[in-house]
Amino acid sequence: MEESNTDKFISRRRSVTLKPLKVKDERVATLKKVSAILNKSEVNRTPEELELLSSCGDIVKEVNLRQKKRDKVKARLEEVEDPPDILEEKCMRLAAAISRATTLTVYTGAGISTAASIPDYRGTNGVWTRMQQGKDIGNHDLSQAEPTVTHMALYALYKANILKYIVSQNCDGLHLRSGIPRSSLSEVHGNMYVEVCRNCKPSREYWRLFDVTEKTARYSHGTGRMCHKCSSVLQDSIVHFGERGNLPFPINWNGASRASKQADVILCLGSSLKVLKKYPWLWQMDRPVHKRGSLYIVNLQWTPKDESATLKINGRCDDVMTRVMNHLGLEIPQYNRSKDPIFYHAIRLQPSELTTTTQPCLEEPSVALSCRDKLKLNSLSEDVDESLDVTDNLDEIKIKQQDETIPKTEEDCTTPSPIELAEQLTAYSAPFFTALPFLSMGLPFPPMFFYPQMTPLLYYPLIQSPAIKQDRNLIKEPDPKPACGFCMENEGSPVCLFYQLDAKQTDQASEVVGMEAENESNIEATEVEDETASTPTATAKNPGWFGKGYRKGFRKKR
């Protein structure tokens, strides 16, 4: 056969690569024709189209299989709610599981914050769904958001010692504002109100009243503000796609993995689990199936963990948690803005930092302002009270001592003497004839007849020095000063449960701190130079195969 004019000048390698492309193009064209024919009704199909369908049976099967997959994906995106009777029955089962749980861990997603006017991502009206459809996502002011019924229900479970830990995908910071301490919370995608100094060891967190992510983006996390201690650039705590968060707070992966290992009941609220499913340490995948914790899911849409869940509830989080708390007999507290911990622990901007942001701040309630000032005054009065008038107070104390009378009781009269001997002394009597003079004169017996070892004349070497016994009830030890007045007053904890507000961070100007940091660095540099001059130089260590100080050991084959 003679080659055509077009194929005559094509190289052999080029012609070999063109033939598969032509076959692939023909198959794609046939797939399009078959799919268009299948979209028509059987009545409107022509004989030629019917003949094409009969001759291309494998392509028809492939087109039908693709269509089933598309329908399945669309069905998973739909939001489905259970009927009221079925929902009530499922809530009873969930309440029974929570009451039996010894270690309850909750995973939360954007679905629990939709009631606070914060849109979700993959819902029917979510941010990413509207972006895929080419619609406007709108403007959402997150500074007006407040903890929802679900947030406060979780706080009630925590106060009842039922809930042990929360792993949240949300960046809105509403779990902290509801009262959950940061030691029992992992915000694995960060917190929009927290910026961190990574240069300080340990890292230094700054809890703000505004969104700190105004100037940040993927792989660019500088907020434009400086650390009050080391003057390095502060960074936000948000984890974007393709990034890995390693901050101890607010991300706290160590606490999340530890809680997931100990959990016997895992409750997922308002999360599609498409991101959390990629973290195997959250699902106890290293254990057999029968030794893993029970999984309960509350979501309107399909999740990839539905098949492995003990119970799936198709309902809204606020409605489900209200029913569950009623079955448990626990009351859901109302959110009180005046007791929001963010208003007592947030670090205010210094005058030089006011131009670093244009985001609106959270409006502080008047009660919170007065209480915060009162707490500051109390902390200052405990340290130094400069307004104390000594003369007036002494006069008042004398008048009070004259007026007050201390009543005595039988217990006061019968209390033992505070002076006791270091070793217990046994009483033994002297000879009887030595007591005759005292009996004839009616005098009481001297101590030497009962405790001769205490007499200074005859038994001087045997005298033992008495030990003064201090009654612990009489001596009051000073109460430990709480680290945070708000946590002590509202939570009864002497330790700060949130991000502790340091007075040095707020009162010190950033310029002065920067100069002090430079001076300290210069002093440290001179000290290091002196030490290096005196100490011998150490040989450089091999960083290892990974370049991280680890050398992987291989065993040689025998």
Which are the catalytic amino acids?
189
User: Binding site residues, as ranges?
Assistant: 197, 200, 227, 230
Closest to 293 in 3D by CA, of 316, 304, 309: 309
Q: How far is CA 168 from CA 107, 126, 219, 357, 372, in A?
A: 6, 18, 22, 27, 29
How far is it, in rounded angstroms, from Cα 213 to Cα 216? 5
Q: Are 239 and 220 in contact (CB under 8 A)?
A: no
How far is it, in rounded angstroms, from Cα 160 to Cα 151? 14
Strands 233-236, 311-313: parallel, antiparallel or unpaired by DSSP? unpaired
Closest to 163 in 3D by CA, of 308, 273, 253, 263: 263
Strand extents, DSSP E, 109-158: none
User: Which residue stretches of 310-356 are H helix?
Assistant: 317-328, 342-345
How far is it, in rounded angstroms, from Cα 162 to Cα 139? 38
Q: How far is CA 200 from CA 206, 230, 268, 349, 524, in A?
A: 12, 7, 35, 19, 15
How far is it, in rounded angstroms, from Cα 75 to Cα 73? 5
User: Binding site residues for Zn(2+), as ranges?
Assistant: 197, 200, 227, 230
Three-state SS string across 423-465, please? CCCCCCCCCHHHHHHHHHHCCCCCHHHCCHHHCCCCCHHHCCC
User: Which residue stretches of 329-365 are H helix?
Assistant: 342-345
Token readout for 267 is: 């409750």
Could you please report the per-residue DSSP string of 489-504? HHT--SS-SS-PPPHH
How far is it, in rounded angstroms, from Cα 137 to Cα 8? 57
Closest to 109 in 3D by CA, of 192, 175, 157: 175
